[in-house]
Amino acid sequence: MLKPDLIKIRHLIQLAFFVTTCAVGIQFYLYVKQASGSGVMTIPRPIGVEGFLPIGALMGWKRFFLTGEWDIVHPASMVILGFAVLISFFFHKAFCSWFCPVGTLSEWLWKIGKGIFGRNFALPKWLDYILRALKYILLGIFLYVVLTMPLPEISAFIESPYYKVSDVKMLRFFTHMSLTTAIVLTVITIGSLFIKNFWCRYACPYGALTGLFGLISISRIKRNSNNCIDCGQCSEVCPHTIDVKTKTQIFSAECSLCMDCIEVCPVDQTLSIQTVGLPKHKSWSTKSLGATIVILFWCLIYIATITGYWQTRLSQNENRSLIKRIDSPHISHPGLN
């Protein structure tokens, strides 16, 4: 079994960010509801909701690299995407297993499924490989669209009425749910009960991006075969079905540095996280890794806040006016006009 005093650290961090995300979502819903009316605004717009606008963030980063201009409409989306990529470079795909609220929910679902059915299920290897390609295909489509889009079109999109209320459009995706959306979400939920990290493994383009950066990460899990007693517990507990017991180091886009394999290992220093530039005898503990990731996150948010790269420049009056006219043809997606 995993050591209970250590496993709580990652789970508590996951829970903290999941609760924070839910609180941001509730506040944003109440803000939009209030903004849609005619009364006095008393609820501020929560900034963190922009973390769910990765396509806009990709466009923002492209424009920034080409012109030096920062997205002043949804700036926090660029900060959060930048953090995810930065963490992936330093600590593999840790963003997914330590921070991502969707990843947390996905983990809870397969654990609930295991509790109900006594086990989780795995697809045949050939089907698993095919389905795993889906998230990279989705990511490829998004990257192709952004990379081939001319700079004037990106600027026009970022300055468009649609983009200014794209966070509200995203909210309405759930509050005004179509039958198709409901069916897709139901399939994902049911699949997540049976298969570990169903959404993350097969469909999440955000996870595909962090996984690719994870491949060039300076940190990875290494296995000391001289210490290994071949108990196989590391492979059994891996939420990404990586056969850890046969590897000398984990070189996989799926590994999220959740550390479950390290914590379940009965022999100390058989499995460890090694980072390029650090002495080989220095490895990351759950406490040190968790503290480093959280501190880095809050430092980036603080720096972005004091430098003006976190808060939107969109005024409350303009935002409210757009929300009230959100169903107008003038606020449709620019590509659909």
119, with CB counted inside 10 A (0-12, 13-18, 19+), is: exposed
Please, which pLDDT band fits residue 7 given cuts at 50, 70 and 90? low
User: Tell me, what's the pLDDT at 119?
Assistant: 93
Structural domain spans, the chain: 4-219+290-336
**83-130 tens-digit pLDDT:** 999 999 999 999 999 999 999 999 999 999 999 999 999 999 999 999
Provide CB contacts within 8 A for 270, sequence distance 6+. Answer: 223, 224, 227, 228, 229
**291-302 tens-digit pLDDT:** 999 999 999 999
pTM (2 d.p.): 0.90
Percent of the chain with pLDDT over 70: 96
User: Tell me, what's the pLDDT at 300?
Assistant: 94
Please, which pLDDT band fits residue 277 given cuts at 50, 70 and 90? confident
Cα 241 from Cα 243, distance rounded (Å): 6
Residues paired with residue 222 on neighbouring β-strands, in sequence order? 249, 272
Is the pLDDT at 5 greater than 60, yes or no? no
Provide CB contacts within 8 A for 213, sequence distance 6+. Answer: 85, 88, 89
**59-76 tens-digit pLDDT:** 999 999 999 999 999 999
Cα 237 from Cα 111, distance rounded (Å): 12
User: Tell me, what's the pLDDT at 148?
Assistant: 96
Residues 10-38: what's their mean pLDDT? 94
**37-49 tens-digit pLDDT:** 988 999 999 988 8
Please, which pLDDT band fits residue 160 given cuts at 50, 70 and 90? very high
Please, which pLDDT band fits residue 216 given cuts at 50, 70 and 90? very high
Residues 204-213: what's their mean pLDDT? 93
Cα 91 from Cα 88, distance rounded (Å): 5
